[in-house]
Structure 1
Amino acid sequence: MKRVSHEPAYVLHHYDWSESSVIVEAFTRSHGRIALVAKGAKRPSSNFRPVLLPLQQLALSWGGDAEIRTLKSAEWGGGQVMPTGDPLLSGYYANELLMRLLARDDAHPRLFDAYATLVHVLAADEGESLVGAALRAFELLVLRETGHLPALDVQTLTLGRLAPDEPYRLVSEGGLRAAHADDASWLPGAQWLALSDALADEAPLTAALNVAARLPGDQRVHLRQQLRELLHYHCGVGTLRTRQLMMDLQSFQVP
C-alpha cells in the first residue's frame, strides 16, 4: 500500500460518502488533485472536522492505491485566517476552476504555489481591485497549466509577433488574433506582451497580478470578459456555479 505523509494540500470540495464519512477533493503540491475518504469525519468527536476546511493550507497523510485513497491524518499548516465575504466567494470560484480543469493525479507544483499566493491575497482583503487582478492572474495560470492558453506574445494562426499599439483579442477556438472592428473587447499588444512576460516570471501570479492591476479600467473589464469566455468554453458550461452565486448575491444588494 502506498503511503504519503505530510503533503502540503488544500481542500477544494467535499461530499458525503456515508452516514459518518466524507470524500475530500484535495489539491496537493506533489500529487495534484486527489480524492480521499475521511472516515468518521462527520462525527462530532472527529479530529478531521475542525481541520478539513477550504482555503487553509494543510498537511495531509494518506494511504492506498485505489482512485479514492484513505485519509490517515490532517494537520493545519498555519498561516492566514479564512477569507470572508466576497474574497471567500472568490476562493470558492478558484476552487471550482481547479475542480473542473485539473485531471486527478496530475501534479502542478507551480500552480499550487500560485494558488497559495492567491489565498494569501484573498485573506488580506485589500480591496476589490486587487482581488480582481489576482483572479485574472490565477485564471491565466490555470489556463496555461492545463494547456488551454495560447502563447500571448504572437498571433496564434500566423505566429506573427504582436505590435504593441495594435488591438488583439483572445477567442475560444482561434487563440490570440487581431481584433476586428466589431469586437467588443480586446487589449493592445503591449498588454498581452506584458502578461506573457509575467507568466514566465519565477513568481508568475504576483507578476501577472501586478500587470492586471495596472490596466486601465476598461481594459480590466475586457480582460475579464475574454478570460471568462475561454474558461466557460473549456469547462463546458455557460456560467460557473460560483460565478452565478456571486451574481445572484449582488442582485439582492441594496443600492
Structure 2
Amino acid sequence: MATRAKPPATQAAFVLHHYDWSETSLVLDLFTRDQGRLSVVAKGAKRPYSQLRSVLLPFLRLQVTLSKPSKMNEDGAAEVQTLRGAEWVGGQTLPGGAALFSGYYVNELLLKFLPRQDAQPALFDTYAELLPQLNAVDTAQAALRAFELRLLSECGLLPDLSVLATTQAPLEPERPYMISAESGVIVPNHDAPQLQGQALIQLQAALMHGSSAALQQACEAAGASMKPLLRGLLHYHLGHRPLRTRQVLLDVQKLLT
C-alpha cells in the first residue's frame, strides 16, 4: 500500500486570503509550492505582540512551518493545519494603486480554480514571477494574460491552440479564429474576440516551452484581443459567477469618473 508523502518541515508560501477565526486567531488560505492550496489556522496572529502580524499579508513570499493536521477527510488528506511559524524571505512587497487590484484579482482566480492540496510548483513559480511585474506599466497587462493562460493550462481547461478543434488540422497562420470554451479553436461563426492563426500558434509554442518570458512576449504580440478572449474563457469555467475584485474595480472606476 502506497504511503502519503510527508510535507516538508518548511516550505515557500503566499497568503491568498484570510478571515477571522476568533478574537485572536485567523484562518489563512495559503498557496504553497509543495502542497498547493492549504487552509491553515494562525493562532494568536491578531494579538498586538504577535510576530506573525507583520508578515501574514498578501503578496509577500514566506517560508512557513506547519504542524501535523488535526483533522483528516475521507481520503486521508489534511483539511486544516496549524501555522507554527512564518518568515518573510524578502523581495516583493505590497503592490500599490492599480497593481494592488490586479494582485487581488490573481489571488481570487487561484482561490476559485485551484483545488486544495494539489501541488502546482510550476504555477507557483509563475505567480511569484508575476507579482513584481504588476507595478510595471508597460508589461503588466501582458504578464496578466500570460498568467491567465498558464492557469487555464495547468488546470486542464485550455485546448490545444495550434489545431482546429473539429478536424485537428493545423491552423492557417493568416486566418482569424476564435476559441470556444466547450470545444477549442474554431472558425469564427459569430461576433466574438478573434486572433490570427499565427498568434495562436505562437501562444501554444510558448506554453509548451514553459518560459514565462516567451509566453508574455507572445501575449503582447497577440494584442488587445487577448483580454476579452481570456475573460470569456475564465467566465465560462467559473460558471458565469462574477469575480468580486473585478466588480470592485469597476465600482471604483465609476466613482472616479
Deviations 1:144-193 (A, max 9, x none): 0111101111122321111101111112212211112x323100000001
CA distance in 2, matches of 1:16, 1:167: 49
Find the partner of 1:240 among 235, 238, 243: 243
CA deviation digits over 1:71-119, x for unaligned, max 9? 0000001102211011111010000000000000000110000000101
Contact 1:14–1:24 (CA under 8 A) maintained in structure 2: yes
1:238 Cα shift? 3.7
1:112 and 2:124 equivalent?
yes
Aligned-pair identity (%):
45
Aligned residue among 74, 91, 94 for 1:82: 94
- SS at 1:209's partner residue? helix
Q: Match of 1:57?
A: 61
Partners of 2:256 and 2:221 lie apart in 1 by 28
* 1:110-189 aligned within 5 A: 110-122=122-134, 125-127=135-137, 129-180=138-189, 182-189=190-197
Given that 2:193 and 2:228 are in contact with CA atoms closer than 8 Å, whether structure 1 keeps it comes out as yes
1:252 aligns with 2:255: yes
- Deviation (angstroms), 1:47: 1.1
SS at 1:233 equivalent: helix
Q: Which residue of the other structure, out of 174, 195, 209, is the alignment partner of 1:201? A: 209
- The answer to whether the Cα contact below 8 Å between 2:7 and 2:35 also exists between their aligned partners in 1 is no
CA RMSD of superposed structures (Å): 1.4
Verify the 8 A CA contact 2:163 2:169 in the aligned structure 1. Answer: yes
Aligned residues: 244
For structure 1, the residue ranges without an aligned partner over 5 or more in a row are none
Q: Is it true that 1:213 corresponds to 2:217 in the alignment?
A: no
The answer to whether residue 80 in structure 2 is matched with residue 71 in structure 1 is: no
Contact 1:20 1:40 in 2 (8 A): yes
Q: Normalised by the size of structure 2, how large is the TM-score?
A: 0.91
Structure 1 residue ranges, 4+ long, deviating more than 3 angstroms after superposition = none
Change (3 A) 1:207 1:3: closer
The one-letter code matched in structure 2 to 1:80 is Q
Normalising by structure 1, report the TM-score: 0.92
Q: How far does residue 17 in structure 1 lie from its aligned partner after superposition?
A: 1.0
> What CA distance in whole angstroms lies between the structure 2 residues aligned with 1:238 and 1:171?
18
Query: Per-residue deviation at 1:3?
Result: 6.0
Aligned to 1:18: 22
1:226 pairs with 226, 229, 240, which one? 229
8 A contact 1:3–1:63 mirrored in 2: no
